[in-house]
Amino acid sequence: MRRAVKIKAELLTLIKNNGSFLIVSHFNPDGDAVGSSIALAMGLKKLGKKVHIANRDKVPDALAFLPSSGLVGREAPEGVVDVLCVVDCNTMERTGLKNLKASKTIVMDHHIMPDNAGELWDNDTLNHSIIDPGISATGEIVFSILSELGVVIDKDMAVNLYTALLYDTGGFRYANTTPESLSVASRLVAAGAEPWRITKELYESVPYNAMKLLAAAYKTIEKDGKMAWMTVTKEMLAETGTTAEHTENFVDYPRKIKGVEVAVFFREEADDLCKVSLRSKGGINVQKIAAIFGGGGHAPAAGCTVKGPLNEVTRRILDAVREALRKS
């Protein structure tokens, strides 16, 4: 059985000995990023700390139900904080934030580190950080840290953390679902998180125009051998009155096709810029494909943003996927 998340003594000491904290996460924040950030902030506040959360982007409408979602600000506070907590991402680039001033930095994350990790963080930061791709969700790390610090997980924190776990494990269905994630989930339900209530918010509350967008996107699905892909253009967003956040998880649909090993979702951001999401059923490490294009993520789920017109980006990515499938 997988071990529980091991929390370093240095990390706990650093939190205990400091007073002001700034929590940041990746831009276009997802359920794990937002839920983990809020729960960590609530826990640190319970310990009497001064805490701010900053994200480049606003909390998506679909996550506005999270208790204390209003804590997530768009800008860092003035001055130098004691500790910067980088949550659910492992590069400053992924936060999209600049000039953050802190005496110390901690990274709490479960994405695969980029090859140049050693250049991105100094040894002191790495000493205090928890970066483990074997962990299902950053929410699990936050749960363990707060538990080790003696914080009692209340209902609002439990809802945030349960959402983080539910989101990153695809409703406890993906290969990253471990005995530990289910055990943490069980403790969160005992602390007051109600599974069906959160499921309804996360999976049964699709805005009507987003469903219309999905209908249009469905028509673009194509399959070639073991790969399938789906596309959303700028026009489709404009016609349905939707935005990028409504395409969250669209990549799951081409993946559902029988026989498909790798699914790709293309979203046209501008005439010469596309967002690409990649998913694998397990045989192919799509993080390696995303990394070719400057992106990253996990072995079964990764993404990148690629310069170029949609048809050209589509061709380049599908070529890379085809090559990965050929070598497998």
By CB under 5 A, name the binding residues for Mn ion.
32, 88, 138, 168
From the CB of 63, what's the least distance to Mn ion, in Å?
A: 13
Shortest distance (Å) from residue 110 CB to Mn ion = 6
Of 160, 136, 182, which is closest to residue 301 (Cα–Cα)? Answer: 136
- Our CB check for Mn ion shows the closer of 166 and 313 to be 166
Q: Is the Cβ of residue 31 or residue 43 nearer to Mn ion in the bound state?
A: 31
Q: How far is it, in rounded angstroms, from Cα 190 to Cα 308?
A: 49
CA dist., res. 12 & res. 19, Å (int): 13
Is residue 301 within a helix (H) or strand (E), and if so which, with residue range? Answer: strand 301-307
Least separation, in Å, of the C-beta of 275 and Mn ion? 17
SS3 label, residue 97: coil
Distance, in Å, from the CA atom of 307 to the CA atom of 227, rounded to the nearest integer, reads 22
Tokens of 80: 């130098």
At closest approach, how far in Å is the CB of 57 from Mn ion? 16
Q: Which of 198, 186, 189 is nearest to 158 (CA)?
A: 189
User: What is the smallest separation between the CB atom of 116 and Mn ion, expressed in angstroms?
Assistant: 21
| Dihedral (CA of 200, 201, 202, 207) sign | positive
Rounded to the nearest whole angstrom, what is the least distance from the CB of residue 176 to Mn ion in the complex?
A: 10
The burial class, CB within 10 Å (0-12 / 13-18 / 19+), for 95 is buried
Q: Which is nearer to Mn ion, 226 or 298 (CB)?
A: 298
Q: At 315, which helix (H) or strand (E)?
A: helix 310-327
Residue 138 or 242 with smaller CB distance to Mn ion: 138
Nearer to Mn ion by C-beta: 112 or 313? Answer: 112
Backbone torsions φ then ψ of 33, nearest 5 degrees: -60, -50
Q: Which residue number, 146 or 228, has a Cβ lying nearer to Mn ion?
A: 146
Question: Which residues, 6 or more positions from 30, have their beta carbon under 8 angstroms from its beta carbon?
Answer: 60, 88, 167, 168, 248
For CA atoms 254, 290, 93, 268, give the dihedral sign: negative
Best CA proximity match to 85, nearest among 116, 134, 49: 49
Task: Kindly state the smallest distance separating residue 34's Cβ from Mn ion, in Å.
Answer: 10
Closer Cβ to Mn ion, 54 or 165, answer by number = 165
Q: Residues 210, 212, 214, CA angle at the centre, nearest 5°?
A: 70
Residue with smaller CB distance to Mn ion, 290 or 320: 290
Least CB distance to Mn ion at residue 138 (A): 5
Residue nearest Mn ion by beta-carbon distance = 32
Do the strands 262-270 and 227-232 form a parallel or antiparallel pair, or are they unpaired? parallel
